[in-house]
């Protein structure tokens, strides 16, 4: 469902705006490190700090259903889960291999930094003026939960939180004769900055939906059957 992909891409634009890519300031502690459907790479880590705040966005679930048993085929309800992984990333080494992972130390100050990063995400998407772009797609957020990455049985906890936002969204509404992106994604595409990552990706999608050529109307026939008159006697 394209609306679910647009949900994620527009969130990336809100959390890492194109307008501040060169000079900042960025709206979250993650700065420009906001990733689309992938984790942070080792080379992206800040080598001068104790950890690097990062955000990774995914849309693992989406679906469409009719509003009720008697609803028309196009009277649908769509939903999607926007998954935002917020973490304080560091370099880790295992069996001689160095990679990026979440900070695993018991650092209460770092935990507060992570909590602030999570709060910034929700504030931007749900409350800010800039987040209005994202809210064009969202009818309502029905549930939000936070899950900390941990193995309590072993006493292991990492500074990584997964925010899962369950959203009721607008379903794809294709214009078959015009082709291109369906609404509401088309309107979102037009509102995005021209050089934004989100607009680039949505533009690629638009090329996959050609207009459907309808056959020309050749003629119109109106046919009526024979009319049978009843008796003029209307008495009982």
Q: Is residue 225 part of a domain?
A: no
Question: By C-alpha distance, which of 112, 120, 122, 91 is closest to 159?
Answer: 112
Q: Is residue 150 part of a domain?
A: yes
Q: Is residue 234 part of a domain?
A: no
Q: pLDDT tens digits for the chain (236 residues)? A: 899 999 999 999 999 999 998 777 999 999 999 999 999 999 999 989 999 999 999 999 999 888 778 777 777 889 999 999 999 999 999 899 999 999 998 889 999 999 999 999 999 999 999 999 999 999 999 999 999 998 877 677 899 999 999 999 999 999 888 889 999 999 999 999 999 999 999 999 998 999 988 888 888 888 776 666 555 555 55
Q: Is residue 116 part of a domain?
A: yes
Task: Give me the residue label for tokens 């194109």.
Answer: 18
Angle between helices 2-15 and 197-206 (to 10 degrees): 160
Are 155 and 25 in contact by the 8 Å Cβ rule? The answer is no
For residue 54, list its beta bridge partners: 87
Question: By C-alpha distance, which of 176, 186, 182, 185 is closest to 211?
Answer: 176
Q: Which helix (H) or strand (E) holds 68?
A: none
Q: Which helix (H) or strand (E) holds 93?
A: strand 76-94
Q: Is residue 81 part of a domain?
A: yes
Rounded to 5°, the CA angle 135-137-143 comes to 70
For residue 144, list its beta bridge partners: 165
Angstrom distance (rounded) from CA 139 to CA 185: 14
Q: Is residue 223 part of a domain?
A: no
**The token pair that represents 60 in the structure block:** 């693992």
Q: Is residue 157 part of a domain?
A: yes
Structure letter (DSSP) for residue 181: S
Angstrom distance (rounded) from CA 203 to CA 114: 34
Q: Domain range for residue 197?
A: 2-206
Q: How many domains does the chain have?
A: 1
Q: Is residue 78 part of a domain?
A: yes
């Amino acid at each position: 469902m394209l609306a679910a992909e647009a949900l994620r891409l527009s969130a990336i634009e809100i959390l890492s705006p194109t307008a501040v890519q060169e000079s900042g300031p960025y709206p979250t502690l993650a700065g420009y490190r906001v990733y689309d459907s992938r984790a942070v790479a080792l080379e992206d880590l800040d080598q001068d700090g104790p950890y690097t705040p990062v955000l990774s966005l995914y849309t693992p679930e989406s679906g469409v259903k009719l509003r009720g048993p008697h609803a028309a085929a196009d009277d649908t309800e769509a939903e999607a889960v926007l998954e935002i992984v917020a973490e304080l990333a560091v370099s880790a080494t295992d069996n001689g291999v160095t990679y990026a992972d979440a900070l695993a130390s018991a650092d209460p100050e770092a935990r507060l930094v992570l909590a602030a990063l999570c709060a910034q995400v929700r504030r931007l998407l749900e409350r800010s003026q800039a987040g209005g772009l994202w809210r064009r797609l969202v009818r309502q957020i029905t549930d939000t939960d936070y899950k900390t990455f941990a193995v309590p049985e072993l006493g292991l906890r990492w500074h990584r939180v997964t925010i899962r936002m369950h959203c009721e969204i607008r379903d794809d509404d294709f214009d078959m004769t015009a082709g291109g992106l369906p609404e509401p994604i088309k309107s979102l595409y037009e509102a995005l900055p021209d050089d934004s990552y989100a607009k680039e990706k949505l533009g690629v999608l638009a090329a996959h939906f050609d207009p459907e050529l309808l056959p020309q109307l050749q003629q119109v026939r109106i046919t009526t059957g024979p009319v049978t008159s009843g008796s003029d006697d209307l008495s009982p």
